[in-house]
Amino acid sequence: MLEHKERLRKLRAELKKRSLGSILVTNETNVRYLSGFRGGDSFIIITPDSQFFLTDSRYTEEAGDSIGGFTIVEVTTSIYDSLSGIVKKSRIKKIGFESMNIPYEVAGKLAGCIRPAKLVTTKNIIENLRAVKDSKEIEAVKRSVNVTKRVLKNIAERIRPGVSERSISDSIECEFIRHGARIAFETITACGKNCSKPHAHATKERIASNDVVMLDMGCRLDFYNSDITRVFFIGKVKDKIKEIYNIVRSAQAAAIEKIRPGIKISEIDFAGRGYIERKGYGRFFGHSLGHGIGMDVHEEPSISKRNNNLLRSGMIFTIEPAIYLPKFGGVRIEDMVLVTDKGCEILTR
């Protein structure tokens, strides 16, 4: 519970910077981050001197048992009534809400029901706190990575001609369960031409001889995610595939070399993408270079050319350059890195 106290303290400091005393937290992951609650459909209201945990009858008992330091409020009629009750009782004049999370329709109703108090947009306050992991979180991510690595190692032995994409995905997902984990996202197993689709769905297609197989897999263990992409060559593959494989690998190395606290995040994307562009494949790499990962598979920081925020020690994200050649094939290599005080640690090697 200590870490939750520290998170609330940091959140209140951020609110103060924005001249906001109170905030309504609705994003499920943010609610979990602040409270440790394992269920869903619950909300948090932070005021300068109290914190309320709003849930319904499905979760009241669990919330009472599992989270500390919050006043638990059972929502009986609607979130609107509960919120307006707390706003009145706590004499809140202005309360922030997560404007990237609450639907337009709901925000309008919330604003109406708390009048004359004001509902104020906020964006990414908690997401930005979550981007920098504390030591317990780093350990949790590493445990999740270790399960994925172990399963990847076991599965690698089963990748051979005649085996279908789908049966590989199935085996991976069962293996995760056996390790007490669950998939973090739909496992991607793609062979041959299917590798040109960045988010291919595993089909009944079978691995051929002299084929390429791409696995993009990751698990969620105790709410922390991992995400790795590897490419396997079965026998002799086409020269073109080898060529793009080497380019992608070098692009990844160029990006990882840049990583240290204080640089602009966009510089990492430029380094990886620049390498691929110089080799003439820029237009075959459409997505961003990577994404933060932790309690969500995709979270802050986005490793994109538009993110000019500064890199900070404790951030964890993927580096996943790729080249996709439509109707031909593709290669993506994805690793997870942790920013350290001096550079970075590759978590997935």
Stretch that binds a copy of itself, among 14-22, 43-51, 166-174, 251-259 (CB under 8 A): 166-174
Stretch that binds a copy of itself, among 55-63, 82-90, 150-158, 244-252 (CB under 8 A): 55-63
Question: By C-beta, is 168 or 339 nearer to a copy of itself?
Answer: 168
Say if residues 66 and 92 touch (Cβ distance below 8 Å). Answer: no
DSSP string, 142-161: HHHHHHHHHHHHHHHTT--T
Angle, helices 104-113/79-89, rounded to nearest 10 degrees: 40
Residue 220: Cβ within 10 Å count: 20
DSSP string, 4-39: HHHHHHHHHHHHHHTT--EEEE--HHHHHHHH---S
61 binds a copy of itself per the rule CB under 8 A: yes
Burial (CB < 10 A; 0-12, 13-18, 19+), residue 247, is buried
Nearest distance from C-beta of residue 309 to a copy of itself, angstroms: 18
Angstrom distance (rounded) from CA 35 to CA 261: 29
Question: By C-beta, is 199 or 240 nearer to a copy of itself?
Answer: 199
Angstrom distance (rounded) from CA 48 to CA 26: 18
Number of residues this chain uses to bind a copy of itself (CB under 8 A):
41
Angstrom distance (rounded) from CA 274 to CA 252: 11
36 binds a copy of itself per the rule CB under 8 A: no
Spell out the residues 6+ positions from residue 85 whose beta carbon is closer than 8 angstroms to its own.
Answer: none
Stretch that binds a copy of itself, among 28-36, 173-181, 209-217, 337-345 (CB under 8 A): 173-181
Nearest distance from C-beta of residue 344 to a copy of itself, angstroms: 25
Contact letters for a copy of itself, residues 220-249 (x by CB under 8 A): ------------------------------
Tokens of 229: 């992409």
Stretch that binds a copy of itself, among 1-9, 54-62, 142-150, 229-237 (CB under 8 A): 54-62
User: Binding to a copy of itself (CB under 8 A): which residues in 277-306?
Assistant: 286-287
Q: Which residue has the tokens 């969620």?
A: 220
Residue 328 CA: distances (Å) to CA of 49, 109, 210: 60, 51, 14
Stretch that binds a copy of itself, among 6-14, 190-198, 265-273, 312-320 (CB under 8 A): 190-198
Tokens of 204: 């009944």
**Which residue from 17, 57, 239, 280 is in contact with a copy of itself, where contact means CB under 8 A?**
57
Nearest distance from C-beta of residue 97 to a copy of itself, angstroms: 8
19 binds a copy of itself per the rule CB under 8 A: no
42: Cα within 13 Å, side-chain hemisphere: 32
Say if residues 14 and 44 touch (Cβ distance below 8 Å). Answer: no
User: Binding to a copy of itself (CB under 8 A): which residues in 111-140?
Assistant: 121, 123
**Which residue from 8, 72, 106, 152 is in contact with a copy of itself, where contact means CB under 8 A?**
106
318 binds a copy of itself per the rule CB under 8 A: no
Say if residues 294 and 141 touch (Cβ distance below 8 Å). Answer: yes
Nearest distance from C-beta of residue 38 to a copy of itself, angstroms: 6
298: Cα within 13 Å, side-chain hemisphere: 8
User: Binding to a copy of itself (CB under 8 A): which residues in 72-101?
Assistant: 76, 97, 99-101
Question: By C-beta, is 133 or 292 nearer to a copy of itself?
Answer: 292
177 binds a copy of itself per the rule CB under 8 A: yes
Give the footprint of a copy of itself on this chain (CB under 8 A): 38-40, 56-59, 61-62, 76, 97, 99-107, 121, 123, 166, 170, 173-174, 177-178, 180, 182, 196-201, 286-287, 324, 326-327
